[in-house]
């Protein structure tokens, strides 16, 4: 399985509804997005902590209201075709998600500014009845543990960017009880995949954008990869 990274960020502006729709059009069965809180506690879909890179606005997401953020163009930087594309909310993404497509929601949070984003995400997920096809991931493992305390059934993906000395003991002692492990592709090796699957975890490395890395990951027996190119395998046949 290829998981569409930020929708399909190679073909449409990342984390926009256009990117989500393009991923669905390309047959993607799992889409990854990034979320964070606005000043007025709305959940918006955007990767960076500022508007600077992916919109024509500037400033911190946490210092803007949803209404202020919605003024900005989140598509023209990618191409004129996407002019006036907006930063979407999580609810807007969920509303256009087909019933056979999974959603990986990555929480972007700064440790010293943790709020109640976990409870707010859970409320949206439950309100739209997609709990069974959602994975919650983050590099903030404290946030993931908070999510686990809120719901014992939701699938959690543990993001890691390192090769820990004893990752499995740390994971099991954490109390997070992850469904999947999401390691950086540069830290992935056969021993990691074998042990992870032996312990019952799905293994989804990121971000796999070259055919060599894709074949390498497949040979190791991973369950899927995050990629900006949902058609990665087909493009290189």
Contact 184, 159 (CB under 8 A): no
**Residue 235 clears pLDDT 90, i.e. is over it:** no
Complete domains list, the chain, with CATH: 2-235 (3.20.20.190)
The verdict on whether 182 is a catalytic residue reads no
Give the pLDDT mean for 214-235. 94
pLDDT at 137: 98
Give residue-wise pLDDT tens across range 47-82.
999 999 999 999 999 999 999 999 999 999 999 999
Range 210-222 average pLDDT: 96
pLDDT confidence band for 112 (50 / 70 / 90): confident
Half-sphere exposure of 141 (CA within 13 A, CB side): 15
The residue-averaged pLDDT of 128-141 equals 97
Residue 99 has pLDDT above 80, yes or no: yes
Helix (H, G, I), strand (E, B) or coil at 29: coil
Residue 174's pLDDT band (cuts 50, 70, 90):
very high
Q: Are 199 and 168 in contact (CB under 8 A)?
A: yes
- Residues near 182 by beta carbon (within 8 Å), at least 6 away in sequence: 137, 157, 158, 159, 160, 204, 205, 206, 226
Of the residues 47, 141, 182, 215, only one is catalytic, namely 47
State both tokens at 134.
Answer: 């959602």
* Mean pLDDT calculated for residue range 105-131: 93
Assess whether 5 carries a catalytic annotation: yes
> How does the average pLDDT of the chain come out, rounded?
96
- Phi-psi region at 84: left, alpha or beta (left = phi > 0; alpha = psi -120 to 50): left
> Cα(105)–Cα(99) distance, rounded to whole angstroms?
16
Percent of residues, the chain, with pLDDT higher than 90: 92
Give bridge partners of residue 225 from the DSSP assignment. Answer: 2
Catalytic entry in 5, 128, 141, 182: 5
The pLDDT value given to residue 237: 58
* pTM of this prediction exceeds 0.85: yes
């Amino acid at each position: 399985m290829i998981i569409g990274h930020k929708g399909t960020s190679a073909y449409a502006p990342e984390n926009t509804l256009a990117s989500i729709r393009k991923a669905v059009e390309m047959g993607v069965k799992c889409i990854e997005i990034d979320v964070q809180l606005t000043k007025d506690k709305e959940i918006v879909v955007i990767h960076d902590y500022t508007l600077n890179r992916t919109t024509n606005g500037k400033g911190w997401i946490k210092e803007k209201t949803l209404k202020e953020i919605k003024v900005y163009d989140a598509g023209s930087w990618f191409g004129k075709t996407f002019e006036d594309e907006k930063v979407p909310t999580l609810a807007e993404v969920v509303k256009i998600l087909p019933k056979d497509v999974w959603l990986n929601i990555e929480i972007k949070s700064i440790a010293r500014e943790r709020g109640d984003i976990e409870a707010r995400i859970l409320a949206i997920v439950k309100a739209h009845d997609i709990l069974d096809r959602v994975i919650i991931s983050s590099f903030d493992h404290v946030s993931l543990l908070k999510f686990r305390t809120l719901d014992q059934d939701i699938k959690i993906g543990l993001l890691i960017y390192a090769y820990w000395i004893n990752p499995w003991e740390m994971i099991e002692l954490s109390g997070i009880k992850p469904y999947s492990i999401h390691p950086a592709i540069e830290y992935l090796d056969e021993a990691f995949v074998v042990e992870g699957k032996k312990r019952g975890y799905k293994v989804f490395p990121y971000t796999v954008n070259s055919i060599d890395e894709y074949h390498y990951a497949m040979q190791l027996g991973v369950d899927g990869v995050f990629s900006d190119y949902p058609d990665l395998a087909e493009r290189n046949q």
